[in-house]
Amino acid sequence: MDQRTKNISDILTLIGFLFAFLGTITQSPEHQIEILILSFLLASSFLARSYTVSDKIQVIHRYEVPLIIFEIMIVTIIMYFDQSGASQIYYFILIADAVLYFSIKFALSLTLLIFLAFMINAWIALWPEMTLNDILVIGLLNGIGYIFVFLITYLVKHQVNQRNFINETLKELEYKNKKLEESQKQLENMAVIKERNRIAHDIHDTVGHTLTTVLVGTEAAKRLIDKDPELAKEKLSLAQDQVRKGLNNIKNSIKDIKDHNEIIDFNSAVNNLIHETEQQTDIEIDCHISVSEDQISQTKQKVILRALQEGLTNGIKHGNSTYFKFNLIEDQEYIYFDLEDNGTGSEDKDMGFGLNFMKDRVEELGGSLTANSKQDGGFILSIEIPVEEGEEL
pLDDT at 255: 61
Domain at 284-393: CATH architecture: 2-Layer Sandwich (3.30)
Q: Where are the domains of the chain?
A: 3-129, 284-393
Give me the percent of the chain exceeding a pLDDT of 70.
83
Residue ranges in 56-101 assigned as alpha helix (H): 58-61, 64-81, 88-101
List C-alpha distances in Å: 35 to 46, 87, 90.
Answer: 16, 10, 13
- Between residues 152 and 387, which one has the greater pLDDT? 152
Residue 64 exposure: Cα atoms within 13 Å on the Cβ side: 20
pLDDT band of 62, cuts 50, 70, 90: low
| 210-245 per-position pLDDT tens digit | 767 777 777 777 777 777 777 777 777 777 777 777
Q: Answer whether 34's CB lies under 8 Å from 83's CB.
A: no
Total-model pTM? 0.46
Does residue 27 carry a pLDDT above 70? yes
Q: pLDDT tens, 72-122? A: 999 999 988 887 888 889 999 999 988 988 888 989 999 999 999 988 888
SS (H, E, C) 123-163: HHHHCCCCCHHHHHHHHHHHHHHHHHHHHHHHHHHHHHHHH
Q: What is the pLDDT of residues 254-277, one digit of tens each?
A: 665 555 555 557 888 898 889 888
CA distance 178 to 58: 37
